[in-house]
Amino acid sequence: MSLTHHTIQDGWFREVSDDSFPGQGLELRVKKILYTGQSAFQDILVFESTDYGNVLVLDGIIQVSERDEFAYQEMITHIPIMAHPNPRSVLVIGGGDGGVLREVVKHDEVNRAVLVEIDETVIELSKRYLPNMSCSFNHPKVEVKLCDGFKYLQELSKSKDKFDVIITDSSDPDGPAAAFFQKQYYFQLLYNSLNEDGIVIMQASENVWLNIDNLRVTKRSHWKSFPVVKYTYTTVPTYTSGQLGLMISSKTPNLQLNKPLRRLSQEKEDELFKYYNGDIHEASFILPTWAKKYLK
């Protein structure tokens, strides 16, 4: 019996969200539905597309496609790590597909990478259908903790265990990730879970072409806890409007997050990365005039 899903009709997957993407949508042509199911936390769909490889969808929203996932994974990972003076420990909140972990362990400086994922089903399906992303779960530097990221941070903030870099690779602000976007307390937990020179980055679930008002609110929320806050972005075709915003903050006053403290040779960049390089690190912080004024 062939699988079906409410987001797929006439051979096309359709993503529509009036809350997140008002007045627009995204469609991908479907070759084959690989999995549909409801985990303890969310609706999950995996399908093979005709042009973008395998695609992971959570609660109707595309999380990754094999064709363009690296554009997001690399930027959310390498910008904070390359901006940090000595990134030895990295915490990843969410990211059960394993893409961020794959990028984190490329850095020799990092000796500990902890991933906190609430939904084990996402990890298992990624290992099955997204092998190029989930290839680092068994890496010796990696620890996986199956629990709620918000609760994990609550405990971490009270302990002596801290991290140099925290990457919040959560899904959109619906379902399991809602607490990450709705509670100001969350940003203070991030601050308290970092070492003194720590950096945190999170996907903003918006960009300047979508709900820029929400970006401004998120940036102001960061300012209440962090002395340095900047907006950057990456380009990803399968995210509605083709961009995804990233909000990065530092506990170190006057740290220039838009400039990498360390640079690799072009040969090494070509070997390790498909999207990230030192030049695009700096360029990704440059915004159109109207957006720069509005967010400032």
Decide: residue 296, CB within 10 A, 0-12 exposed, 13-18 middle, 19+ buried: exposed
Residue 235 one-letter amino acid: T
> 114 pairs with which residues across the strands?
91, 143
d(CA 286, CA 258): 9
- Whether residue 198 contacts residue 212, with contact meaning beta carbons closer than 8 Å, is answered with no
Sequence-separated (6 or more) residues with CB below 8 Å from residue 60: 7, 15, 16, 17, 43, 45
User: How many angstroms separate the Cα of 122 from the Cα of each of 60, 107, 125?
Assistant: 14, 25, 5
d(CA 152, CA 164): 16
d(CA 177, CA 143): 21
Give the active site residue among 108, 169, 197, 213.
169
Phi, psi dihedrals of residue 266, rounded to the nearest 5°:
-60, -35
Is 197 tagged catalytic?
A: no
Locate all alpha helices (DSSP H) within the chain, ordered by sequence: 69-83, 99-104, 120-129, 149-158, 178-182, 184-192, 212-223, 266-272, 278-283, 289-295
Q: Which residue has the tokens 């030049």?
A: 279
Q: Which residues are catalytic?
A: 169
